[in-house]
Every structure is written in C-alpha cells, then in structure tokens.
Structure 1
Amino acid sequence: MMTTTPSPGVHHGRAELAAQLSGLGVERDGALLVHASMRAVGRVDGGARSVVGALRDALGEGGTLVVPSFTPENSDTSPQYLDRVRGLTDRERADVRARMPPFDPAKTAAPSMGRLSETVRLTEGARRSGHPQTSFAAIGPLAGELMAGHRPDCHLGEDSPLARLYELRAQVLLLGTGFDTCTAFHLGEYRMPSPPRRRYRCVVGAGGGRRWWGYEDVALDDGDFAALGADFARADGGAAVRSGPVGSSAGRLFRLDAAVDFAAHWLPSHRTGARAPGPVPGGGTR
C-alpha cells in the first residue's frame, strides 16, 4: 500500500491542487472515480471542500465526480462488524445488532470512506446509488444517470455504477491511497467465469421501520489487490498509469476500463481454481 507523509507546516490551496490534477491528466468534462486519503494530501486551506472544489475545477462544468459511499456498518456479515463484536457475549452481540440503523440513501453516513467521500455525499445536488452496502455518490451532469439502477443484490457488478463508468471509459484517481483501495478491480471479479458467491445480510428500511435482509452475490475479495495493482502499473511499460504529486500526496490516474480488463485476466491466473475469461463483443470481458 502506498503511503505518503505530509510535510509539516506546508499548506496547499484549491488552485494549486486543480493545476496539479490537470497536469496529471484529469480530463475536462469526463467522469472520475476518486479514492482519497485527506491525511496524505496534507493541510489544505478549506479542507476537504477545497479538495472537492479542485477536483471539480479540473473536471470542468461538464465533468462528473464519483466516490464510494459504502456502509459496512449496517451489516452483520462485514469484516467491520466482525471486528466490532469480537470477544463479546451472545447477548452483547444481539444488543449491537438491535441498535444497527437501517440504510437510508438520503441520510446514512459512510464514515469508513473518509472525509472526501462524505463531503461529496453531502454536497448540494449530489446523487447517491441505492445499494444498502456499496452505494456510490456523485456530483455533476451525469450523476443521476450513473447512480440510477444500482440493483440491491449486485454490489459492484453489471448492475452497479462501476459498469456504467466502464462504459464511459471513466478515469480512476488514487489520491494518496494504494491499489488495495481500487474498487474498479471488483468489477473484474464479476467478469471471471463462475466467480464464487456467498450470502450477505444487512439492515434495510421497511415501512418506516427496519428489517434484516439477506441476499447472495459474488464473494468480494480485495486481499490481492495490492499485488494486482502493482502488476497493472508495470504493464505495457507503465503506460496505463500516470503518477504525479497532488498536494503532499502521490496521485495515480488510469482508465477504469483498462483496470477492469486487466483484473479480469489477472485474477483467474492468480486465484486457485479460477478460469481465464474469454473476450466479449465490443471489448472487455464478462
């Protein structure tokens, strides 16, 4: 995982960050999926709002900014929940479950996604997809289109915003984070032949109340994403990934479709029992 240590006493401004993002290659009027560590970016005048402003400045009025807005906190099958209840008694676990609020796309916070993600989610005019566990938030002219139709039993597959971003050939920006945070690689998992599946469960709203809902979906595993990303960054002589400073952090920029296609072929050869996917019309893999 890439880490960046901010320089003490250094402050960054919105205009400086926007110029760095444009120099890195962020496309005007494009769609951009961002994973960011504000700590790595360093001290910014105006904080996360200024970073969001800089991203929007680089994208221009026709650009759309997208961030993950995941909510593992309302699931009892998530690693976050299992860590939370480790060592508790059965009664204490039941109490934790009883107090877990249902997902509400208009209100439910996504604290584990960081300050930048929450700032985008709370920006006036932002749209959010409806998945109770792996929603995304977006601002810009394509926000509504990209966030629509996120099927509740499809975390990060063909009926999620990732597939819509793939179709647009959107860019991905890792801002002070490593490839282990690269959500786009999960779409590659769905495009492997017969990917393993598992049961998930979370709390959803029901007639003004709450209920537990269980569903089956692809078994998501980001445990090898750092290694996958390292190989992706080296492919084609490193041409697929552009790197450069953004504030005190190192930024990595690449095409989402290139990352997904690489993952769909890399994962079967690096995970036991998986088969390589075949080509599909129009490019990519299924």
Structure 2
Amino acid sequence: MPVPAPTGPLVTRDSLCADLRETGVRPGEILLAHTSLSSLGWVCGGAVAVVRGILDALGPDGTLVVPTQTGDLSDPAHWGNPPVPREWWPAVRASMPSYDPLVTPSRGVGVVPETVRTWPGALRSAHPQTSFAALGPRAAEILAGHAPDCRLGEHSPLARLEGLHARVLLLGAGYDTCTSFHLAEYRIPSPLVEVGRPGPDGWETVTEVSISSERFDELGHDFERDRPVVRGRAGGADVRLFPVGDAVAYAERWLPLHRPREEEIQHPPL
C-alpha cells in the first residue's frame, strides 16, 4: 500500500520559535513545559526541533523545565496499564532497578521531555518517581533538594518554580498534564498513602500525600475562564501560558469544592 502523504501544518524549529514569541514567550524567563509532539503537525526534525525551538524562544538566559516522571518505578500491586499477575509481584519488587537520574528513562510524559532529559548539559532532580529535568542557567537552583518523600510538594521543583515566578507552557497538551495543580494538593487537607518503590538498599515504602489528576480538565476549564491565560497557536497546536503561582492558588480553592476526598484515588498511577 502507498504511504500516505504527511498532513500539515509544516512546523520547523524557526516557525515554532516565532509562534511561541508571538504568543508571548519572553526571552530569559523560566518555563515549565508540557508538550504534545503529535498535536503540532508535521515537525521537521521531530522532538529535537521542538526543544531547539523552545530554547530559541527563551534565549540563552531562559530555562526550560519538563517533567520526567518514572511511574513504572512503583508497586506492581497498583499497576493497571497493564496489570501484572499477583504471583509476579514479589519478583518484580525484588528485581526492579533503583532510580538513576542519568540513565532511568522517563515514562508516560512524551518524547519531548525524554529528549530534554538526554540533552547535553541537562540536569535532573533526585525524586525516584516524579523527577524533573531542566536546561538553562537556573536549572540547578530549580532542581536541587527534591526530597525523596515529597513527590510534587513544597520540597519539589514545583515550589521552586512558583517562587521564581515561572510560567507553565501547554504546547498542544491539556490541563490534565498540568503538574502545577498537584502542588495545591499539598496545601489542602489530603489523605496520606504508603508508596512503594525500589531504593538503593532494596524495596522501600514511604508515606506521601495522595495525588491524582482526576478532574484536572475541569479544573483547567474553570481556571482559564476565571484567570488571565495567554492563548495562541504553534503549528496545529493550541498554546497556553500562565504563571505557576496562579495555577496553584486557583487549584487550592477549587479542589476542596469540586473533588471531595472520597473521590480521590488512593493509589493513583503516576
């Protein structure tokens, strides 16, 4: 069968940079980017061109941050996509390799974050399940001190990003990917859960705040209605820009009203 012709629009490194600048990305700022490569169109150069285009828009003084989560480093008892047989659980726990920020690949966040993770000069935070990677002059400051018992709370890069007045870039991605909302879960009454994972000395369990992206799409819809969100287009993708701090503050008010505790997932996938 003949291979179908690619569908557009055509996106290049230069066109992406121009679209981001036109939308409002400022040279020298800090961006926490959530991306969907497929939403952009036909990207000449793929994920590498996307990373270069964002870095071009930020300039040499800007810093790009992306989530590089590793939800597979978790208790197989809670896996659902796909699940594994119960009789495998002990062997999986015993043999699962521990997190290594240099070699452990990200999972479930797309090809652009994985490209950033492996970029020359990239740094990565230390949390074994909810790490972030960054490129730029503020990378070390943002990623330092990511506590092993604080996935996305006060001792994570999210709080640093809030304090540095960073903005979120949704590049073809929806509000369901917006990790900034999770920081609000640490500031409202939230249940605690036991989280299992491989550690340097074998299987370990830590007590953590329960986090879930349930209803984040609804939260984002209301946030965009009530708060100033910069909107634009890049290729075929919708672009949204807004401060991390605004997203967190809005979620602190919204979540207790719209997502009662009984709706929360006690062992959510990362």
Corresponding residue for residue 229 of structure 1: 220
What do the CA deviations read for 1:102-128 (whole angstroms, capped 9, x no partner)?
A: 111111001311110001000111110
Q: Structure 1 residues 182 and 164 mapped into 2: Cα distance closer, same or farther (>3 Å)?
A: same
Per the alignment, in what secondary structure is the counterpart of residue 169 of structure 1?
coil
CA distance in structure 1 between the aligned counterparts of 2:261 and 2:196, rounded to whole angstroms: 26
Q: Which amino acid aligns with 2:150?
A: C
CA RMSD of aligned residues (A): 1.7
The alignment's TM-score, normalised by the length of structure 2, stands at 0.90
1:84 to 78, 82, 85: 82
Does structure 1 residue 74 correspond to structure 2 residue 73?
Answer: yes
Per the alignment, in what secondary structure is the counterpart of residue 108 of structure 2?
helix
Does structure 1 residue 203 correspond to structure 2 residue 203?
Answer: no
CA contact (8 A) 1:12 1:45 kept: yes
What do the CA deviations read for 1:44-64 (whole angstroms, capped 9, x no partner)?
A: 111111110110111111000
Corresponding residue for residue 94 of structure 1: 90
1:179 to 175, 180, 199: 175
Corresponding residue for residue 8 of structure 1: 7
Per the alignment, in what secondary structure is the counterpart of residue 187 of structure 1?
helix
CA distance in structure 2 between the aligned counterparts of 1:112 and 1:75, rounded to whole angstroms: 14
Does structure 1 residue 215 correspond to structure 2 residue 206?
Answer: yes
Q: Structure 1 residues 94 and 85 mapped into 2: Cα distance closer, same or farther (>3 Å)?
A: farther
Gaps of 5+ in 2: 1-5, 263-270
Q: Which amino acid aligns with 1:110?
A: S
CA distance in structure 2 between the aligned counterparts of 1:111 and 1:191, rounded to whole angstroms: 27
Which runs of structure 2 are paired with 1:47-66 in the superposition (5 Å)? 47-66=46-65
Report the alpha carbon displacement of residue 42 of structure 1 after superposing the two structures with TM.
2.1
Corresponding residue for residue 190 of structure 1: 186
Per the alignment, in what secondary structure is the counterpart of residue 27 of structure 2?
coil
Count of matched residue positions in the alignment of Structure 1 and Structure 2: 257
Gaps of 5+ in 1: 1-6, 275-286
Identity rate, percent: 45
Per the alignment, in what secondary structure is the counterpart of residue 104 of structure 1?
coil
CA contact (8 A) 2:190 2:261 kept: no
Q: Which amino acid aligns with 1:176?
A: G
Q: Structure 1 residues 98 and 228 mapped into 2: Cα distance closer, same or farther (>3 Å)?
A: same
Q: Which amino acid aligns with 1:201?
A: G
Corresponding residue for residue 142 of structure 1: 138
The alignment's TM-score, normalised by the length of structure 1, stands at 0.85
